[in-house]
Structure 1
Amino acid sequence: MSDPLAAIAELPGVSEAVADARKAVDRLYGHRVLRRKSPEVSARSALRGARASAALEGVDVPLEAIPEATDPVVQGALRVSAELGRLGPTWRSAPRQVLARLHTLAAAGLTENPGRPRAGGEPPDLLDLGAAPGPEESVARVGGLVDLVTGTTAAPALVLAAVVHAELTVLRPFGSVDGVVARAAERLTLVEFGLDPKSLAAVELGHLELGAAYGESLRAYLTGTPEGVATWVRHCASAVTLGVREATAICEAMQRG
C-alpha cells in the first residue's frame, strides 16, 4: 500500500527540518517547570495560540485584551482552543465529526450553518490562494484527508499535521473561518500523533511570527510540486520551533515567579 505522507517526509530538506523541530520539543519537555505545572503552561500556550489564530484570520488583538475581546472571530478561536483537549481521542477515529465541531465553535455568530460544508459561493481568500475548489471537490478531498488521519503512515506527526493544515486552508470546506479550523486541526494532530502530547508549543504563534512566509508557503504547497510541498512542511517545522520557543519563555517566566 502506498504511503504518500512518507514520500513527503523524504522530500529535500524535510527530514532535517522535522528532526530540528523534534529536538526543540524534546528540549522543552525537559524543562523543570513542566514536572508540576505543565497544564498551566499548556493553558497559557493555548491562549497565545488562539490570539495568533485570530490575528491570522484578520483580527489582531493584544494578548492582554484577549479575555475581554468581543469580536466573534476572537471568541471563536478561544472556544476552539478550550475544546481541543476534549476532542483528541475522537480525532483519530472520526475526524470529520471533529472538524464539524471545530467549525461550529469557531463560526458561532458568523454564519447561519456552522459545522456544515459550504454549498456554494466563494469563501474569503485572506492569503491570496485563488479560487477555492467547488463544494463537490472540497468534500472529496476532505474525504481523502480523513483517510490520512485514520490510516497508518511511517511519516512523522509533523508531516501529517502540515498536510492537514494546508488542505483545510486551501479547500476552505466550510466557507468561513476555515483558517481557525485548519490551525486547530494542525495542533490537534501534533498532540494526538505524539510530537507534542501536552499541547505546549504555540504553533499558531509560530505561523504568525513567520509573517508573509505563511501565505507564501501555502501558495507553494498549492503548486503541487515536490519543491512547493517541501517548502510548506519546512515552514510548519519552523512554526513548531517558534511555538516551542514561546512555551519555553512561558516556563522561564513561571520559574522566575
Structure 2
Amino acid sequence: MSRDPLEPLVDLPGVRDAAESARDALGAVHRHPVNLRGWDKTSRESSWRGGRSSAAMEGATTELNREHDFDDPVMAGAIRVAQALDPDSLDKEVAVFRRAPAQSLAHLHTLAAADLVDDPERLGRPGSDPHIGPRLDLLVQLITTEHPNVPAPVVAAVVHGELLALRPFDQGNGVVARAVSRLVCASSGLDPHLLGVPEVTWLRHLADYQEKSLNFATGDPEALGDWIVFCCRALEAGATEAASIADAARA
C-alpha cells in the first residue's frame, strides 16, 4: 500500500505540535457549558463572523443598506456561504461534501459569486484552463480519502492552500477556499459544529496570509510547513474567539 502523500507534512517543523494544539483548543470549546446545550446559537454567530471576515479579506465593505442587506457583492456572497454552513444547513452541506466534494464546491461558488459574474452559466463551473480539471480531480480524491495518520488541521490547511493556489473559478475563490476549509473541519469531526472562527485571525494577519499562501503554491517544503502551522494557529485562535462567543451568550 502506498504511503499517504500528506503524512510527510506532519513531520515538517512545528506542524505536529501546532495541529495538536488546534485540536485540543477546538475540543475544549466544544465542552464549554454553553456549547453543550446551545451550540446552535453560538455556531450561527461563528458562521456570521467567519463570513464577514472572509469577505473583508477580499476587500469587501461591511456596510448595510436601508433594507439591512449588503450592497457589496462579495460580502453578500460570503454571507450566503456562511448561511449554508450554519446549524440549519450544515448537516446537509457536510453530507454532500463527503459524498461529492466537486458538487459542494460548485454550490459554494454559486452562492459566493452570484453577484460577481456576468454570465450565470459560469456559476459553479471551473475555468477552462487545461490544468484546472486534473488538479481539481486530485483535490477531490484528497478530500474523499481517509487520512488516519494525518491530523485534521493539516488536511484542512492543505485543501485550503490548494484551492487558493489553483483558483479554479473566475471569481470568489478566496471565500470558497475558506468555506471548504471549514467543511473539512466539520466533516472530519475536528470542529463538528463549526464553533471556531479562524477567519478573524486570517483577517488580522492578512499580509502573512497572502504571502504564506503564495509560498505554499511553490511546493517548497519549508513553505508548506509555514502555511500549515499558520493555519493551525488560526484554528487555535479561532477556538478562543469561539469561547468569547460562548461567554457572551452565557452573560
Fold-level match, TM-score > 0.5?
Answer: yes
With over 3 angstroms needed to count, the CA separation of the structure-2 counterparts of 1:156 and 1:67, relative to structure 1, is: farther
Cα distance in 2 for partners of 1:217, 1:224 equals 11
In structure 1, list runs of 5 or more residues that go unmatched: 120-134
Cα distance in 2 for partners of 1:67, 1:48 equals 16
Tell me how far 1:66 sits from its aligned partner. Answer: 11
With over 3 angstroms needed to count, the CA separation of the structure-2 counterparts of 1:254 and 1:155, relative to structure 1, is: same
Cα distance in 2 for partners of 1:236, 1:118 equals 27
Query: Percentage identity across aligned positions?
Result: 41
What's the counterpart of residue 46 of structure 2?
45
For 1:101, which of 87, 100, 107 is the aligned residue?
107
If the length of structure 1 is used for normalisation, what is the TM-score? 0.89
Equivalences, count: 240
What's the counterpart of residue 123 of structure 1?
none
**Aligned residue type for 1:139:** G
What's the counterpart of residue 136 of structure 1?
130
For 2:123, which of 114, 131, 150 is the aligned residue?
114
Tell me how far 1:30 sits from its aligned partner. Answer: 1.9
What's the counterpart of residue 9 of structure 1?
10
Give 4+ residue runs of structure 1 displaced > 3 Å after superposition.
Answer: none
* Partners of 1:51 and 1:61 within 8 A in 2: yes
Tell me how far 1:220 sits from its aligned partner. Answer: 2.1
Cα distance in 1 for partners of 2:68, 2:243 equals 22
What's the counterpart of residue 128 of structure 1?
none
1:163 aligned to 2:161?
Answer: no
Cα distance in 1 for partners of 2:206, 2:114 equals 27
Tell me how far 1:255 sits from its aligned partner. Answer: 1.1
Tell me how far 1:10 sits from its aligned partner. Answer: 1.6
**Aligned residue type for 2:137:** G
Tell me how far 1:62 sits from its aligned partner. Answer: 6.2
The aligned runs of 1:141-152 (5 Å cut-off) are: 141-152=135-146
* Partners of 1:100 and 1:116 within 8 A in 2: yes
What's the counterpart of residue 204 of structure 1?
199
Cα distance in 2 for partners of 1:79, 1:101 equals 11
1:252 aligned to 2:247?
Answer: yes
Cα distance in 2 for partners of 1:152, 1:188 equals 15
Tell me how far 1:223 sits from its aligned partner. Answer: 2.2
If the length of structure 2 is used for normalisation, what is the TM-score? 0.91
Aligned CA RMSD, in angstroms, stands at: 1.7
1:92 aligned to 2:86?
Answer: no
Tell me how far 1:226 sits from its aligned partner. Answer: 1.1
In structure 2, list runs of 5 or more residues that go unmatched: none
For 2:218, which of 216, 220, 223 is the aligned residue?
223
For 2:235, which of 240, 243, 247 is the aligned residue?
240
